[in-house]
């Protein structure tokens, strides 16, 4: 579904953050992306939602090379991808409910068609009583959950989550992980960037390990 | 901050009116509304002036074309005899309506707006006038009449006001061109202010734009979210300026009709006829208000799209 071929990435004239990355992400697959801080996890995810272009090599999404797509096509591809940012990126002037509903709203859907789904999801992530509150008054963990809810509400084909459990206690971390596993069972490919070893031990899955700009892949089961 | 809304009990599942994706306060600056209002005011004023002048010129031109004047120098002692003869010649010509000999008092009345009523005109060599109304312009041969008058009555001149009408037309054209030029400049200045304001609004809403971009909202949706505010702002600013201009038109008309009889008002009346901004002026003002609103919205849309296209390339 997603392929990276000989991808290299550098910011400006700095040395390459990513070098010769080759990777395939299958439909309905589940993987962790890990590696030390500054290894380039966020950068790799940004390549996948086309917020960055590779300096060399080819990134293909859903069978389309992302090199020279028209803006419309980029937007159409992005609707099939959900992103959880490390720093959440919630819009402070919209309520939690509105933030989570945003991906559906921009698709032009009527609010009545998705209201129940959004409320159900908010309850599921424990934000049922924080729906009409603005993000500045949410705790870090609450923001995290809102950010995850916004990424999954549209049932994307690919979910990119950057440190989705970084701000929550282990119990809530497990709950969120379960949400992502459920989503995966419904057919969404999941990539979770994390250095949370506990999280990775809870649910064994393929691991993509970044180190010194190079990517090593460890298939599930420690192979 | 007043952003912290009160928490609502969960049971109450009615939903508050959706917040705009781009917060209005981040766009609709009072300063820009004021700029648009001022621009719209100026544009409407110049449109009103154009309408005023061209209406007056039309009326004046039509009036003049139906009337000629015979002038006879008043220094000659037998001027009264000549006047009678000239009037007779005019009456005899084909297509002529009424022929009115004007007394020196009439001439003084005509000059009153400029010289005042107290002026002693008897010392001035003011020519005596005969007003000749034209009944049927097709039958009248002004050239023949003029020749005949000049041949038979020394010092008589037929003035068909052509010089005047030509000048009038030229003045009206110049005024219209000037007005349109000002209009174009004002609109351009409006567009530029909106471009700057849109860029500022986008810079201020970088996070919003980024999130919308990442969730695949598309350039056109994002541009629409900004455009919606700018359309409102353009309508509001345009309406304020337009209404102010129309109020001024009304006051101007009122000033002249109330002030009739005062030298100032008389001068204006004598110059441009009834100096009221006609329906065309009000319609033009209305059109300008709408044009400014549409221009504001379209400009912001184009600016956003340009910004996004550039951002996508980098
Ligand atoms: N916009 C940028 N401009 C320049 N350098 C950048 C930019 N973004 C990231 N970098 C650099 O690229 C390297 C990889 O950063 P990245 O954010 O991808 O790491 P990461 O693996 O996500 O780290 P962390 O675990 O701390 O989130 C870092 O050295 C970082 O300084
Ligand atoms: Mg990171």
C-beta of residue B79 within 8 angstroms of C-beta of residue B70: no
Atom of ligand 1 nearest to the CA of A39: 21
Among A34, A36, A39, name the best residue to mutate to test ligand 1's pocket (greatest count of ligand atoms within 8 A of Cβ).
Answer: A39
Asked whether the predicted pLDDT for residue B246 surpasses 50, the reply is yes
- State the CB neighbour count (10 A cutoff) for residue B26: 17
> What would the pLDDT profile of B14-49 be if each residue is shown by its tens digit?
555 688 898 888 776 788 899 999 999 999 998 888
Chosen from A42, A62, A64, A71 to mutate, greatest number of chain B CBs within 10 A: A71
Subunit contact A74:B208, Cβ cutoff 8 A: no
Best residue in A85, A94, A129 for a mutation probing chain B (most B CBs within 10 Å): A94
Question: Is residue A181 packed enough to be buried (19+ CB in 10 Å), middle (13-18) or exposed (0-12)?
Answer: middle
- Spatial contact of A181 and A161, defined as CB atoms under 8 Å apart: no
What's residue B10's pLDDT?
41
Q: At a CB cut-off of 8 Å and minimum separation 6, what does B199 contact?
A: B303, B307
Number of structural domains (chain A) is 1
Q: Are B308 and A71 in contact (CB under 8 A)?
A: yes
Contact A95 B309 (CB under 8 A): no
Which helix (H) or strand (E) covers residue B162, if one does? helix B162-204
Give ∠ CA B88-B91-B97 in degrees, rounded to 5: 150
Nearest CA to ligand 1 atom 1: A11
Q: What is the pLDDT of residue A180?
A: 92
pLDDT tens column, A53-94: 999 999 999 999 988 888 889 999 999 999 999 899 999 999
Summarised one tens digit per residue, pLDDT across range A129-141 is 999 999 999 998 8
Q: With CB atoms and an 8 Å threshold, state whether B18 touches A111.
A: yes
A50-56: long-range contacts, CB 8 A cutoff, minimum separation 24: A50/A74, A50/A77, A50/A78, A51/B214, A52/A9, A54/A4, A54/A7, A54/A8, A54/A9, A54/A18, A55/A8, A55/A9, A55/A10, A55/A16, A56/A6, A56/A7, A56/A8
- Tokens representing B298 are 């379209």
- Could you tell me the residue range of the domain that residue A17 belongs to? 2-222
Q: Is A74 touching B (CB cutoff 8 A)? A: yes
Nearest to A115 by CA among B275, B114, B237, B16: B16
DSSP state of B193: H
A contacts of B219 (beta carbons < 8 Å): 71-72, 75
Note whether B218 and B43 are within 8 A (CB). no
Q: What is the CATH number of the domain that holds A44?
A: 3.40.50.300
Taking the centre of ligand 1 as the mean of its atom positions, its distance from the CA of residue A89, in whole angstroms, is 17
B10 touching A (Cβ < 8 Å): yes
Question: In this predicted structure, what is the pLDDT of residue B259?
Answer: 67
ipTM of the shown complex: 0.91
What's the mean pLDDT when you consider all of chain B?
Answer: 81
Q: How far apart are CA B113 and CA B108, in angstroms?
A: 10
Q: Do A74 and B312 touch (CB under 8 A)?
A: yes
Residue bearing tokens 């980029």? A74
């Amino acid at each position: 579904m997603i392929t990276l071929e000989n991808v290299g990435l550098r910011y400006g004239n700095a040395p390459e953050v990513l070098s010769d990355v080759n990777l395939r992400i299958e439909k309905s697959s589940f993987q962790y992306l890990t590696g030390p801080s500054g290894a380039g996890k966020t950068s790799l995810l940004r390549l996948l939602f086309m917020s960055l272009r590779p300096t060399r090599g080819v990134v293909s999404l859903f069978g389309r090379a992302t090199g020279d797509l028209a803006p419309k096509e980029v937007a159409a591809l992005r609707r099939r991808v959900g992103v959880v940012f490390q720093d959440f990126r919630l819009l402070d002037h919209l309520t939690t409910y509105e933030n989570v509903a945003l991906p559906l709203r921009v698709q032009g859907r009527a609010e009545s068609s998705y209201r129940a789904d959004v409320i159900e999801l908010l309850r599921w992530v424990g934000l049922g009583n924080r729906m009409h509150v603005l993000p500045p008054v949410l705790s870090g963990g609450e923001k995290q959950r809102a950010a995850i809810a916004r990424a999954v509400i549209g049932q994307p084909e690919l979910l990119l989550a950057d440190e989705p459990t970084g701000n929550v206690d282990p119990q809530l971390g497990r709950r969120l992980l379960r949400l992502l596993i459920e989503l995966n069972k419904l057919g969404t490919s999941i990539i979770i960037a994390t250095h949370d070893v506990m999280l990775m031990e809870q649910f064994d899955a393929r691991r993509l390990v970044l180190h010194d700009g190079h990517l090593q892949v460890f298939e599930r089961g420690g192979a | 901050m007043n952003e912290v809304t009160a928490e609502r009990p969960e049971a109450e599942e009615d939903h508050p009116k959706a917040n705009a994706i781009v917060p209005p306060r981040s766009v609709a600056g009072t300063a820009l509304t004021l700029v648009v209002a001022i621009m719209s005011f100026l544009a409407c004023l110049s449109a009103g002036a154009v309408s005023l002048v061209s209406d007056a010129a039309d009326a004046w031109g039509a009036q003049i074309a139906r009337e000629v004047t015979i002038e006879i120098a008043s220094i000659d002692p037998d001027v009264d005899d000549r006047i009678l003869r000239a009037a007779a010649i005019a009456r005899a010509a084909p297509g002529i309506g009424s022929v009115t000999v004007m007394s020196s008092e009439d001439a003084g009345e005509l000059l009153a707006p400029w010289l005042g009523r107290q002026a002693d005109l008897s010392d001035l060599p003011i020519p005596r006038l005969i007003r000749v109304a034209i009944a049927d312009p097709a039958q009248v041969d002004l050239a023949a009449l003029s020749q005949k008058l000049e041949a038979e009555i020394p010092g008589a001149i037929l003035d068909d006001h052509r010089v005047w009408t030509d000048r009038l037309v030229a003045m009206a054209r110049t005024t219209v061109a000037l007005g349109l030029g000002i209009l174009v400049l004002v609109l351009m200045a409006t567009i530029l202010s909106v471009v700057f304001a849109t860029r500022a609004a986008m810079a201020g809403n970088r996070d919003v734009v980024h999130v919308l971009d990442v969730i695949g909202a598309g350039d056109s949706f994002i541009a629409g979210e900004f455009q919606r505010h700018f359309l409102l702002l353009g309508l509001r600013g345009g309406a304020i300026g337009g209404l102010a201009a129309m109020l001024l038109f009304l006051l101007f008309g009122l000033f002249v009709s109330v002030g009739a009889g005062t030298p100032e008002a008389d001068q204006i009346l004598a110059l441009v006829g009834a100096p009221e901004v006609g329906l065309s002026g009000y319609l033009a003002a209305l059109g300008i208000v709408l044009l400014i609103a549409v221009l504001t919205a379209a400009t912001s849309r184009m600016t956003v799209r340009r910004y996004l296209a550039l951002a996508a390339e980098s």
